[in-house]
Amino acid sequence: MELEAKHISFQYGSDSRQILNDFSLKLTQKERVGLIAPSGFGKTTFCKILAGYEKPDQGEILLDGRPLAEYKGYCPVQMIWQHPEHLVNPRLRMREVLAEGDHLEGRIVEGLGIEPDWLNRYPAELSGGELQRFCIARALGERTRFILADEISTMLDLITQSQIWSFLVQETRQRGIGLLAVSHNLPLLQQVCTRVEDLEQRD
């Protein structure tokens, strides 16, 4: 399977600045691509478009040659966000957050270091790093083919960052899930990715 962004342009509202301008990117299931982009490029917006959260003004997103919007129900492209605290319902226990995932294997929950005791807690009773582990687990459901990681470890401490990434690399490699990692941290991307697109250098 291949995930392809073709000539994407995007702008919030008609009077604001153009953030994405005719941007294209191709990603296969065997790859882990790192993306470094200058300020104002619209990295988060690009991930949202690529995962189907936003529609681009121009261009299209193709998954296996078919427009992503045609995939109904579970989206094979899952996004992981920078601030996990916005991605979980504050009134639900973590057990229910995990239950939203698609046939999650126990291996994933274990591999991410999620402790059984955390399942009974509410989001406010967990730290950002712990919440992020849940969000990652939830995104790694059975039908996931691509993962978009938007600055997922920027708000985390170094040890959690290293734990999370080593699991993600191992899991995506093993299951043949394609990965797009957006970050400003070049040494991190060099550790994690098979190829790094540095748009800062390109300009």
Please tell me whether residue 86 binds other proteins under the rule CB under 8 A: yes
Site string for other proteins, 157-186 (x = CB under 8 A): xxxxxxx-xx-----------------xx-
Site string for other proteins, 31-50 (x = CB under 8 A): -------xxx----------
Please tell me whether residue 199 binds other proteins under the rule CB under 8 A: no
Written as one string, the DSSP assignment of the chain is -EEEEEEEEEESTTTS-EEEEEEEEEEETT-EEEEE--TTS-HHHHHHHHTTSS--SEEEEEETTEEGGG--SS-SEEEE-S-GGGSS-TTS-HHHHHHTSSS--HHHHHHTT--GGGGGS-GGGS-HHHHHHHHHHHHT-TT--EEEEESTTTTS-HHHHHHHHHHHHHHHHHHT-EEEEE-S-HHHHHHH-SEEEEHHHH-
Count, residues near other proteins per rule CB under 8 A: 51
The footprint of other proteins (CB under 8 A) covers 38-40, 51-53, 73-75, 78-79, 81, 86-89, 91-92, 96, 100-102, 113, 115, 117, 125-130, 138, 141, 154-163, 165-166, 184-185, 187-188, 190-191
